[in-house]
Amino acid sequence: MKAQRIGRTAIVGVVAGVLAAGLVIAPASQAASTIKIGYLNATIGPFAGGAPQITIGLNIALGEIKSTVAGKKIVVIEEATDATPQLALEKAKKLIEKDKVDILFGPLSGDEGVAIARLSKKYPKVTFINTTGSASEATNEQPSKNFFRFHGDAAQWSGGVGEIAYKTLGYKRVAIIADDYSFPYANAGGFATGFCKAGGVIVGAQWPALGTKDYSSQIAALPKDIDAIYAGLGGADAVQFLKQAVQFGLKKPLIGGAILVDGTVLGSKADIGDAVLNTIGGGPVPDDSYSSPEYDKFKAQLTAAGTGPNIFSVLGYVSAKSMLAGLAAVKGDLSNNHAAYRKVLSTLKWNTPTGPLSMDKNRNAIVSNFIYQVISDGKGGFKTKSLKRQDKVAQGTKVFGRINSCDDVK
């Protein structure tokens, strides 16, 4: 069924009350004393559960500055997407050409991010700030001078997971099941690069379409002579796969793509326990025991909003805070095609809630990465425990397609 298309939406409709302060919906006309931000968010489709979390992060960042920079009001116009590049492009063009936004904030998914990064080259007068789209090629293939990503790509998130799987857990032969789009390509690529280099073997791969409901054929087709399964699925897809893994009695341990072991999946009400317990994974969000002054403050802000740290809330906040910090540094000056603003963004450094952030030459972040394992919280739910933290993780792996064997990452 074709996804419903939604026009301009009230951005805080998905978050009850707590974060309404700080977010402004644009009126028909704008005064010169405003900065207009177009916001693409995949509130339709397989990541609809994560989309409100990005809004929470955005609203916290806006609330910290009372939606004002150097006397200029920050005005946000949201457009709903469905995680497909087609709708993302349509809505982005509408925000740029009709609403005349200064900055485009988004999108959520990897395929959307690649499409928007390419689109940015056609609109040099607009600055593009990625939110959670983490496909490598958005910044690692043909980088755009006006497209910025203030977090790592999917391959960065998997750095070190393959080595731990092989050397610590003793997994020698691994099969892959992952969504068939750009983010899992990179996420699996980061895992496979380290795993294969350590001596592991990828024993085939299956790439079901994003939005798959029935994984019985993929589960049945798994080879018998494997030690573990790399599951590169997220959102509703991850929950469906894990539920069916329990139903089919799948006993092989899992290695999680970053969005499989995210809080938005672990916090679901579905019966996923037998499948997800002891899964290892890596990503930009620390384990549940992590503490620092910046992180503890941010966790308190999330708690006040009725949620907790997850990929979407954390990256939504860090991306928004970076965007706004740049605006504050230039006192809201977006003249000369945003030249001063982009110079600041290109060299931005700050201590985020999850660790230090700096930028590389492709305007992609160099960040901290966390490797963890899913364990029981003793209350019928799950939490994560730390296996390893890595700082100053930069882009490296260039995997832009499916991985079916170790030959694909050599």
Same domain as 279, residue 214: yes
CA gap 78, 69 in Å, rounded = 20
For 117, which DSSP code? Answer: H
Give a yes or no: residue 227 inside a domain: yes
From the list 361, 345, 175, the residue with the least C-alpha distance to 250 is 175
Buried b (16+ CB within 10 A) or exposed e, 297-314: ebbebbeebebbbbbbbb
For 158, which DSSP code? Answer: T
| Total domains in the fold of the chain | 2
Same domain as 210, residue 114: no
User: Crossing angle for the helix pair 51-64 and 311-329, nearest 10 degrees?
Assistant: 30
Confidence tier at 245 by pLDDT (50, 70, 90): very high
Strand 127-129, strand 68-69: pairing? unpaired
Give a yes or no: residue 3 inside a domain: no
Same domain as 255, residue 222: yes
Q: How many CB atoms lie within 10 A of CB 32?
A: 5
From the list 103, 33, 102, the residue with the least C-alpha distance to 73 is 33
Same domain as 188, residue 138: no
Give a yes or no: residue 282 inside a domain: yes
Q: What is the pLDDT of residue 18?
A: 27
Give a yes or no: residue 360 inside a domain: no
Same domain as 176, residue 143: no
Same domain as 390, residue 245: yes
CA gap 371, 361 in Å, rounded = 26
Confidence tier at 26 by pLDDT (50, 70, 90): very low
Same domain as 230, residue 142: no
Same domain as 342, residue 242: no
- The pTM of the full predicted model, rounded to 2 decimals, is 0.88
Considering only residues 24 and 114, tell me which one the structure prediction assigns the higher pLDDT. 114
- Average pLDDT along the chain: 90
Give a yes or no: residue 29 inside a domain: yes
Give a yes or no: residue 364 inside a domain: no
From the list 29, 151, 131, the residue with the least C-alpha distance to 88 is 131
Longest dimension (CA), the chain: 66
Q: What is the pLDDT of residue 11?
A: 29
CATH number of the domain to which 104 belongs:
3.40.50.2300
**Per-residue pLDDT tens over the stretch 378-389:** 998 899 999 999
Same domain as 61, residue 14: yes
Which residue range forms the structural domain that includes residue 336?
8-149+293-353
Same domain as 177, residue 62: no
Same domain as 390, residue 248: yes
Residue 142 has pLDDT above 90, yes or no: no
